[in-house]
Amino acid sequence: MDVKSPLYIQIADLLRDKIEKGIFTVGETIPSERELTETYGVNRMTVRKAVSLLVEEGLLIRKQGRGTFVNHPKINTTLDTIQGMGRFLNDMGIQSSTKLLYSGKRKARYKFSKMFHLNPEDSVFQVIRLRLGDGEPFVLEYIYTPYCLIDNIERYDFSTYSIFDIFTEQHKWVQSTEKVLSIIKIHNPQAALLNMMEDEFAFMMEERTYDQSENVVLYTKSYSSSKRFKFLTTML
Amino acid sequence: MGKYINLLSEELREDIEEYIDRNQLKPGDKLPSERELAKMLGANRITVRDALRQMRYENLIYTVHGRGNFISKPYYIEDAKNFISYTAGWTSDGYEVTNRLISLNIIEADKKIAEHLEIAIGTEVYQIKRVRLLDGMELFLETAHIPTAYCPKLESFDFEKCSLYSTLEQFYQIKLIKQKHVISITKLTAPENHFLRASEGTAAFLIHGVTFDTENRPVEYCVSLNRADRYAMSSKLIL
C-alpha cells in the first residue's frame, strides 16, 4: 500500500482487497461505519469517503435503510466483437435473460428516413428490450430497422431472437458494423429501467450495421451502467 | 410504450435535430430559445425543455448560462486501431498531436502494477505521466509503467517529442504488438482535472491497458483518463 495516499484511499484499498479476496462476499453487508471507524481508528468522515468511493466504482451498493452491500461483479464485454450477449454472459457464469419491453412500427420521420433512405412516411420497426444478468438489468437497447426489410417481422420473438439471426434466416447479408461508445448522463425513463439514478453517468453505444451496398440496415442505441458493466478490447 | 420511451420528447428531439440539420447549424451556433422552438415546432415548453435536456446529457448541445443553448463540437472519435499507434493514427486522421510531460520517475511497483506486468512487488518501474493534446486541446492523461530493466536510461529521452513505443522499438528492440484494455467510467477529480483543464466532476473514460511484445510479455501497464465530454471510441467490424 502506498502510505503517501490519503487515509480514505488507504481504507478504500483495504476494503477493496477484502472484496477481491472474498472476505466480504457478494450480496452481504460490509461492517457499519461505526465498526469500521473503530477497527481502523480513523474518523467517520474518512470511512464515509472511502465507502462512497467504492460505491462510485460499483463495488459496493447502498440500500436505503438496510446498509451497504457488496455488489455483483461487473460484466465484461468486448467492443470489437459481435457476440450473442446471452452466450457471452453464460460463459461467465451469469444467468442471462432478455425482457422485451416493446416492439412495433413507427414512422421513419426525418431521422430514420435519412438513415435508411426511406420516405418520412415509411415505417421502421422498433424493438425496445432490456438485458438482464442474474435478474439485474444492465443493458437497455433500442433497435431500429426498415419495416420492409424483413418479411413478417412481427412474428419474431425478440426476447429470444437476435436480429442477426433473423437477417441470416432471411438471407439479408450484412457487411460491417460501426460502433461508437460514448459516456452520457442518463435521464428517465432510461435511468429507471436500468435501476439507475437520473444524472448518473452511463455508457451509450450506437451501432450502425451496413449491407453490401453500404446502406444502413440496422441501428441500435443502447445504454448501460458502468457500475454493472465494463468493456474489454484486445488490439493486435 | 410510454414507460420505455418518452414519445413526446423523443419526437420533439428528432424535430430539433431535423431543424439543426436542415439549417446546417455548426458547432458553436446558437439554437433558438425554448420559447421560439416551442412555437416553431408546435410543442409546449416543458417538452422542449426535456428534449433539450436529453440532447445536453448526450453532449449534442451545451448551455451557456444566460445566453442559451449551442451546438457542441463533435467528439474526437478514436478508432480502436489507434490504440497501438497513437501518434500515427491521430495524425492520419488530420489532427495535430502534442504531448506535455508531467513527470518521469522511477517508482517501486505496487500490487496492481506488479500483477499486470507479471513482476514482483517492489520491482523498479518507470512511471511516465503525460497529458496528450489534439489540436492543442487537453484530452488524455496517461500514466505509463514499464519495468526499468527492459529499457535502462529511458529517462534520457524526451517524451514530449518522442513516441514511447517507437523509442522502445528503435532503441531497445521491444516491438509492441498487442494491447488489452478494460474500459470503465470515472469522474475527474483534483489534480487530474487540472491537467486536463476540465472542471471537477467531468466524466471520463478510465482505461486500464496492458501492452505486450512479440514474446507475449507484458511490457507496459497504462492508466488513461480520456475526457468523455470531447471524446468517444469507435470500432468498425467487417462481418
Mutant choice from B78, B182, B185, B225 vs A, greatest count of A C-beta within 10 A? B185
Q: Cα separation of B77 and B229, whole Å?
A: 11
Which residues of chain B are within 8 Å of residue A226 when distances are taken between CB atoms?
184-185
Give the Cα separation of B105 and B98 in Å (integer): 21
Say which range, A85-89, B98-102, B135-139, B152-156, has the weakest mean pLDDT: A85-89
Q: Containing H/E element for A202? A: strand A201-211
Does A175 reach chain B within 8 Å, measured CB to CB? yes
Q: Which three three-digit cell numbers place residue B32?
A: 433558438
* Domains present along chain B, CATH in parentheses: 7-71 (1.10.10.10), 76-234 (3.40.1410.10)
Whole-complex ipTM? 0.89
Are the beta carbons of A201 and B187 separated by less than 8 Å?
yes
User: In B, residues 22-61, which contact A (CB 8 Å cutoff)?
Assistant: 53-54, 57-59
pLDDT of residue A83: 43
B1 vs A225, higher pLDDT: A225
Kindly tell me if the per-residue pLDDT of B8 is higher than 70: yes
Chain B residues with CB under 8 Å of A79 CB are 80, 183, 233, 235
Q: Is residue A137 reached through a cis peptide bond, with omega within 30 degrees of 0 on the bond before it?
A: no
Amino acid B57: pLDDT: 95
Question: Looking at the domain covering A7-70, what would its CATH class be?
Answer: mainly alpha
Low-confidence ranges of chain A (pLDDT < 50): 1, 81-84
Report A:95-134 residues touching B (Cβ under 8 A).
101-102, 104, 109-111, 114, 128
- Structural domain boundaries in chain A: 7-70, 75-232
Within the 180-219 window of chain B, which residues sit less than 8 Å (CB to CB) from chain A? 180-187, 203-205
pTM higher than the cut 0.90: no
* Mean pLDDT, chain B, whole residue set: 91
Who has greater pLDDT, A16 or B71?
B71
pLDDT tens for A79-131 read 554 344 555 566 666 777 889 999 999 999 999 999 999 999 999 999 999 98
Q: Pick from A234, A221, A145, A216: which is nearest to A182 by CA?
A: A221
| CATH number given to A75-232 | 3.40.1410.10
Q: Enumerate the residues of chain A whose CB falls inside 8 A of the CB of residue B187.
A: 56, 201
pLDDT at B205 over 70: yes
Q: Which residue of B has its CA nearest to A114?
A: B18
Could you tell me which chain B residue has the CA closest to the CA of A223? B58
- Rounded to the nearest angstrom, the minimum Cα separation between B49 and chain A is 13
What pLDDT shows up at residue A76? Answer: 56
CA atoms within 13 A on the CB side of B111: 7
Give residue A84's pLDDT.
47
Work out the average pLDDT over B137-162.
95
